[in-house]
């Protein structure tokens, strides 16, 4: 399937709303509806069996809401949140979602959201200038993967250290790692992810990245050696 086509899932407890979103998806040339779920619990069970690029996710749902559902995702696809309440907008920003749609959804606004998702997909999959987008200090920032030296965990936040600056981002280590290519980045400690292409040297206790010593968990040494070997081959 072409990069210009996104496989979609709809998660909403309202059958009427699901029907409306499904119709918009089916009428869009760049979208394919793969599955729909009436709540987050059923989606948790079904999504691992689906190959999904984009989720249209309602925020206000029983048992677990949209934000709680996002927290459960490992390999997170793009997400467009849907809600009737504008006060969720700031919280949505913290979850690095692709867009935020207000009910009732009109086709023009829907198409704008899809365009954002398409552009983001192309950007993430570009081999020439691989990058991700992060939200830091109320700004959406483009970060080139080659510029990242390491990522440090700070409670509920991460500090991304690049060649030019450091960025504070609201995210877990596990969630953020899913956005990074596994052949280029590795978690070597409970609080550190490193760019394998920026490693200078290492021993049993530390990895030196661009002149700075990063702690290495004892059980990660063999895995690091294999990862560095694969990185040098590739």
Give Cα 164 to chain centroid, integer Å: 23
Positive or negative: CA dihedral 104, 26, 49, 190: negative
Stretch (H or E) spanning 222 = helix 221-233
pLDDT score of 137:
82
Chunked mean pLDDT (size 10), the chain, 234 residues: 76 96 95 96 88 94 93 87 86 82 92 87 60 84 92 94 94 86 91 94 93 94 84 48
Beta-carbon count within 10 A of 82 CB = 26
Give the pTM.
Answer: 0.56
pLDDT score of 126:
47
**CA–CA separation, 172 vs 178, rounded Å?**
10
pLDDT score of 225:
87
Q: Could you give the 3-state DSSP secondary structure of residue 66?
A: helix
- Give which of 144, 135, 176 is closest to 163, Cα–Cα: 144
Structure token digits, residue 166: 């450091």
pLDDT score of 233:
39
**CA–CA separation, 232 vs 107, rounded Å?**
48
pLDDT score of 95:
82
Instruction: Identify whether the C-beta of residue 91 lies closer than 8 Å to the C-beta of residue 106.
Output: no
**SS3 sequence, 101-147?**
EECCCCHHHHHHHHHHHHHHHHHHCCCCCCEEEEEECCEEEEEEHHH
Phi, psi dihedrals of residue 48, rounded to the nearest 5°? -60, -20
């Amino acid at each position: 399937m072409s990069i210009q086509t996104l496989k979609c899932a709809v998660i909403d407890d309202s059958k009427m709303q699901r029907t409306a979103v499904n119709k918009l998806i089916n009428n869009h040339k760049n979208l394919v509806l793969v599955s729909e779920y009436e709540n987050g619990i059923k989606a948790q069970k079904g999504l691992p069996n689906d190959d999904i690029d984009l989720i249209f996710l309602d925020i206000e749902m029983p048992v677990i809401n949209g934000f709680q559902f996002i927290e459960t995702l490992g390999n997170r696809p793009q997400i467009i949140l849907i809600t009737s309440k504008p006060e969720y907008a700031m919280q949505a920003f913290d979850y690095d979602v692709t867009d935020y749609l207000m009910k009732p959804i009109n086709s023009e606004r829907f198409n704008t959201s899809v365009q954002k998702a398409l552009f983001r997909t192309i950007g993430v999959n570009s081999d020439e200038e691989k990058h991700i987008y992060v939200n830091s200090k109320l700004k959406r920032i483009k970060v080139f993967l080659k510029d990242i030296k390491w990522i440090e965990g700070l409670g509920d936040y991460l500090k991304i250290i690049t060649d030019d600056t450091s960025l504070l981002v609201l995210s877990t280590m596990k969630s953020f790692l899913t956005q990074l290519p596994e052949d280029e980045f590795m978690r070597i400690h409970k609080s550190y992810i490193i760019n394998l292409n920026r490693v200078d040297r290492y021993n049993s206790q530390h990895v030196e990245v661009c002149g700075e010593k990063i702690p290495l968990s004892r059980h990660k040494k063999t895995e690091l050696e294999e990862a560095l070997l694969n990185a040098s081959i590739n």
